């Protein structure tokens, strides 16, 4: 990535005076420390789990290692271990702390002392807790914890101290400290004074606590700043006279410095080599001070007086606006000796983890395959330069690249300044249709070369005389897949819709793009792939849905196109997994497997098959009812699948509520507005209740009896009288009537339009009634066949009344799926009809097996299918 000099040639006297406006270096919290601490604690968890569930393996490894060393070897190592233990526990801490104090890193001293104290305290406390648990419980339960009772606090303390002191590669003292510590830990395991899991966990605990304490207190970042940063700019090929920090979050903190820089322009040989070259040319002048000697002098820095640093920073931001990519940690505006202006992107190694984690999160969250994040600072710099040169070669970006330079933990990349405004600062009404169409032409030109941007928003698009040009390609990709290029189109369309309006953006898109590409973009128009800047214009998913709808309206005979599922996991996925976990928990906690086994063994297999088959018919009945009462078209097969999914939802929701919520979600996915969808679900629930009551009345009239319930007739009369009194009180007592009407009025107003529509469509009403009847008859038949499995039968009305009343009473208790109350109510209802308690309980258990517990696998499979096809 070496570049030629662009603003000046190397001169004999390169010393220059530079005005630097920058924020002073301050202690800051490093994300890498937090991630490292979490990784250390997670590793401790893995060690503990392995010691518990692979205890024999761990003990076997430890014994094998010890077996490899005979007692003679242990005796040989006895004296060196004592010497090494004293060296590590005393001299290493003294040397490390002394070095830190000698360098006057006082805050590091405080951090190291605090981390050491916390580490020793936690290590000791952990050992004491493990001992207490071991002594309090049986050995068979907690025997793996024996491994963690003999902790070694000084090992954890030394690990914490070395972690705070520096990196393994950055300090020779730290490097040798780690070598001695690891050697001591290994020898202690060989000698049998420590076990392997405890030793590893102790070292990891020290490292994790040290990183966490350092993250909380903060550390001084390893960045190139001040005079060294001026030298870095000159190495990139620019001879600066002003360097101004442009980041918005620190504009109020900037100060001005005057830097006298002796560094040469561009990449040059070192001063010693150049002096040797001159000695070969002219031995008499070899010891005379020259420009080569001058270039070896260190640059000096001091405060600049009479300079308003804040005003300069704000003026630079307003005059030359730019957007900072995620991978860039600092941005500067540079003016050289020829009054040419440049933008400088600075990549710092301590912030590289932020971009890497963002890339990792995107890879985990989305199914789209993007490029892998840069693992090193050198890789990140190469990515920036490569993408810029590739886009310039493809003529989709103007020639802006100037040069780059690397020093220690910082890389700077220099670009020419573009004077064109960003779309963020442009009134959309001033953008012509020709400029909009040019945006798609430039993007198409990049896609033809296999280049994708991946983060198109109004902050990276400039309005030039030639139209709209996309900038900030640094985080893009080469050789990308077709889906990633479609994501660019979706991001660009949504971005333009936020700037110029949905209609103009969609018109421009359909003019510039072939029909096939327009069709392919429609399913990708969703919030999950939009940059944060674009989501500010369209904060809700339904806002982006308006763009999709406008695009569908311009496509001939395509109908409604469902969005493609791009997320690997989402709130919906988390809910799905949670449903499975809760279902297993409730299933395992509520089922008496002994009673269930005995009931199944005593039952007649033929009647059991009939009971299970009758229970499956309830899916068809519920699906017919939902389809009949929905004004919009929904396929019957999809409706049946949703009712099967409801079998799983009922495990964690009160009886009746889960299926209603699932039907509402299904209707919303079918582009049914919320209000009509709520009305439809309410009508379905109300229709099922009315159908149940109607069925009881019809059966009573047909059979001419109220069943064989052993309830005294006087009780029935009293019940009827009380019901009539209650109805009369509603009409007589005005406050009570007003309160009841106030409660039911919102529901009536909600379902009234749907009831009016059903009144004008008697065929739909009849089909809905048929579905409800199928559902009711199927449940009663399932219950009756379950009772028949044990050789008992009841009259039809008695069976229906027993089931409907008992099931309704059990469902009134708000427990997940009615677990417990429904079984108790069904059992009690059968007992009232004269069925023996043992048979009644077995019948209730078998019925719930076929209509509740046994449907869990079906519901889970249906949920996977419905989620994959984006039905819910």
- Output the domain CATH number for residue 433: 1.10.510
Nearest to 622 by CA among 866, 868, 851, 861: 851
Is residue 169 domain-resident?
yes
Strand partners, 336: 240
Q: For residue range 49-85, list pLDDT tens digits in order.
A: 777 665 555 555 556 555 555 554 555 555 566 666 6
Residues 6+ apart with CB under 8 A from 198: 147, 148, 150, 151, 152
Place of tokens 């003990």: 59
Using the predicted structure, report yes or no on whether residue 296 has a pLDDT greater than 70: no
Residues 473 and 579 in one domain: no
pLDDT-derived band at 8 (thresholds 50, 70, 90) equals very low
Quick count: other Cβ atoms within 10 Å of Cβ 437?
Answer: 16
Cα–Cα distance for residue pair 502/390, rounded to 1 Å: 32
Is residue 610 domain-resident?
yes
Residues 65 and 47 in one domain: yes
Domain that holds residue 442: 428-553
Tokens of 125: 């406390």
Nearest to 667 by CA among 654, 680, 658, 656: 680
Nearest to 604 by CA among 307, 839, 293: 839
Cα–Cα distance for residue pair 309/698, rounded to 1 Å: 89
Mean pLDDT value across residues 13-29 = 82
CB of 256 closer than 8 Å to CB of 21? yes
Using the predicted structure, report yes or no on whether residue 719 has a pLDDT greater than 70: no
- Strands 240-245 and 467-470, how do they pair? unpaired
Tokens of 89: 């526990």
Cα–Cα distance for residue pair 238/255, rounded to 1 Å: 22
822 versus 570: the higher-pLDDT residue is 822
- Look at residues 416, 443, 465 and tell me which one is the last residue of a structural domain: 416
Is residue 276 domain-resident?
no
Tokens of 466: 């030639």
Is residue 696 domain-resident?
yes
- Strands 16-22 and 240-245, how do they pair? parallel
| Residue 199 burial by Cβ neighbours in a 10 Å radius (0-12, 13-18, 19+) | buried
Is residue 121 domain-resident?
yes
Residues 188 and 242 in one domain: no
- Look at residues 158, 191, 217 and tell me which one is the last residue of a structural domain: 217
Residues 332 and 442 in one domain: no
Is residue 19 domain-resident?
no
pLDDT value of position 707: 43
Domains: count for the chain: 4
Residues 742 and 855 in one domain: yes
Residues 778 and 644 in one domain: yes
Residues 6+ apart with CB under 8 A from 190: 65, 66, 69, 73, 74, 77
User: Taking the model in full, what pTM does it have?
Assistant: 0.62
* SS3 state at 591: coil
- Residue 246 has φ and ψ, to the nearest 5°, of -115, 0
Q: In terms of DSSP H, where are the helices of 501-554? A: 502-512, 515-521, 532-537, 541-553
Residues 526 and 399 in one domain: no
Is residue 275 domain-resident?
no
Alpha carbon 726 to its chain centroid, in Å, reads 55
Residues 522 and 627 in one domain: no
CB of 391 closer than 8 Å to CB of 446? yes
Residues 645 and 779 in one domain: yes
Cα–Cα distance for residue pair 848/246, rounded to 1 Å: 68
Going by the DSSP 8-state scheme, the letter that residue 366 receives in this structure is: B
Residues 399 and 442 in one domain: no
Is residue 329 domain-resident?
yes
Cα–Cα distance for residue pair 300/259, rounded to 1 Å: 6
What Å distances lie between residue 627 and 269, 620, 687, 769, 770, CA to CA? Answer: 80, 11, 13, 12, 12
Lowest-pLDDT range, 379-393, 418-432, 501-515, 729-743? Answer: 729-743
pLDDT value of position 705: 45
Q: For residue range 119-172, list pLDDT tens digits in order.
A: 888 888 877 777 776 666 554 444 555 556 666 787 888 888 888 887 656 677
- Look at residues 183, 217, 251 and tell me which one is the last residue of a structural domain: 217
Residues 247 and 104 in one domain: no
Residues 447 and 346 in one domain: no
């Amino acid at each position: 990535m070496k570049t030629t000099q662009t603003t000046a040639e190397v001169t004999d006297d390169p010393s220059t005076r530079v005005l630097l406006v920058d924020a002073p270096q301050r202690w800051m919290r490093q994300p890498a420390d937090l991630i490292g601490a979490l990784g250390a604690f997670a590793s401790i968890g893995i060690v503990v789990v392995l010691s518990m569930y692979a205890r024999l393996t761990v003990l076997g490894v430890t014994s094998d290692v010890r077996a490899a060393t005979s007692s003679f070897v242990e005796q040989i190592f006895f004296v060196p271990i004592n010497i090494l233990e004293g060296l590590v526990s005393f001299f290493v801490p003294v040397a490390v702390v002394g070095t830190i104090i000698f360098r006057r890193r006082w805050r590091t001293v405080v951090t190291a002392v605090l981390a050491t104290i916390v580490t020793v305290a936690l290590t000791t406390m952990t050992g004491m807790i493990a001992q207490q648990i071991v002594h309090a419980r049986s050995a068979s339960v907690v025997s793996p914890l024996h491994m963690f009772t003999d902790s070694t606090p000084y090992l954890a303390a030394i690990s914490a101290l070395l972690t705070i002191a520096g990196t393994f590669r950055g300090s020779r003292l730290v490097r040798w400290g780690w070598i001695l510590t690891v050697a001591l830990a290994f020898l202690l395991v060989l000698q049998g004074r420590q076990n392997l899991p405890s030793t590893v966990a102790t070292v990891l605990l020290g490292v994790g606590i040290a990183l966490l304490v350092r993250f909380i207190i903060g550390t001084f970042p390893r960045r190139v700043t001040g005079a060294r940063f001026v030298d870095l700019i000159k190495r990139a090929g620019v001879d600066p006279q002003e360097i101004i920090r442009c980041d918005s979050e620190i504009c109020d903190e900037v100060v001005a410095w005057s830097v006298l820089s002796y560094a040469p322009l561009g990449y040059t040989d070192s001063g010693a080599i150049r002096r040797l070259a001159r000695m070969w040319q002219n031995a008499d002048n070899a010891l005379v001070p020259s420009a080569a000697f001058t270039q070896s002098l260190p640059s000096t820095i001091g405060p600049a007086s009479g300079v308003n640093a804040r005003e300069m920073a704000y003026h630079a931001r307003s005059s030359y606006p730019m957007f900072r990519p995620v991978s860039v940690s600092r941005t500067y505006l540079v003016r050289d000796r020829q009054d040419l202006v440049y933008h400088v992107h600075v990549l710092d190694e301590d912030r590289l983890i932020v971009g890497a984690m963002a890339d990792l999160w995107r890879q985990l969250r989305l199914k789209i395959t993007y490029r892998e994040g840069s693992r090193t600072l050198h890789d990140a710099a190469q990515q920036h330069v490569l993408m810029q040169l590739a886009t310039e070669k493809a003529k989709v970006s103007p020639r802006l690249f100037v040069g780059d330079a690397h020093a220690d933990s910082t890389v700077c990349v220099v670009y020419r300044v573009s004077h064109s405004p960003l779309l963020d600062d442009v009134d959309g009404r001033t953008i012509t249709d020709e400029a909009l169409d040019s945006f798609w032409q430039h993007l198409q030109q990049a896609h033809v070369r296999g280049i994708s941007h991946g983060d198109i928003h109004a902050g990276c698009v400039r309005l030039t005389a030639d139209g709209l040009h996309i900038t900030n390609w640094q985080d893009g990709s080469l050789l990308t897949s077709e889906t990633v290029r479609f994501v660019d189109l979706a991001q660009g369309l949504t971005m333009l819709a936020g700037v110029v309006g949905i209609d103009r953006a969609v018109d421009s898109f359909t003019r510039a793009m072939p029909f096939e590409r327009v069709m392919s973009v429609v399913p990708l128009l969703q919030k999950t792939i939009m940059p944060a800047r674009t989501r500010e214009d369209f904060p809700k998913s339904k806002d982006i849905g308006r763009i999709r709808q406008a695009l569908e309206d311009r496509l001939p005979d395509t109908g409604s196109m469902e969005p493609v599922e791009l997320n690997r996991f989402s709130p919906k996925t988390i809910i799905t997994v949670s449903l499975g976990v809760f279902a297993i928990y409730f299933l395992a906690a509520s089922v008496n497997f002994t009673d269930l086994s005995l009931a199944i063994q005593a039952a007649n297999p033929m009647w059991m098959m009939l009971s299970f088959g009758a229970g499956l018919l309830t899916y068809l009945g519920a699906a017919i009812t939902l389809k009949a009462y929905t004004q919009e078209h929904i396929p019957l097969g999809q409706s049946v699948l949703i009712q099967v999914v409801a079998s799983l939802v009922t495990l964690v929701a009160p009886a009746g509520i889960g299926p209603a919520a699932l039907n509402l979600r299904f209707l919303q996915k079918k582009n049914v507005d919320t209000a009509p969808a709520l009305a439809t679900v309410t009508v379905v629930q109300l229709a099922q209740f009315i159908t149940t009551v109607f069925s009881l009345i019809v059966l009573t009239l047909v059979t001419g009896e109220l069943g064989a319930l052993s309830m005294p007739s006087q009780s029935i009369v009293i019940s009827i009288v009380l019901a009539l009194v209650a109805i009369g009180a509603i009409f007589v007592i005005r406050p009570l009537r007003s309160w009841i009407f106030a409660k039911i009025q919102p529901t009536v107003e909600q379902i009234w339009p749907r009831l009016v529509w059903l009144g004008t469509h008697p065929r739909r009403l009849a089909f809905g009634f048929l579905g409800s009847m199928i559902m009711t008859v199927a449940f009663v038949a399932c219950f009756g066949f379950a009772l028949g499995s044990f050789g008992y039968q009841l009259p039809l009305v008695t069976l229906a009344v027993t089931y409907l009343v008992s099931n309704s009473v059990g469902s009134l208790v708000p427990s997940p799926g009615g677990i417990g109350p429904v079984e108790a109510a069904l059992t009690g209802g059968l007992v009232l009809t004269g069925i023996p308690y043992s048979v009644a309980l077995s019948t209730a258990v078998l019925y719930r097996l076929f209509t509740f517990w046994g449907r869990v696998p079906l519901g889970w499979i249906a949920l996977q299918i419905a989620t994959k096809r984006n039905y819910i």
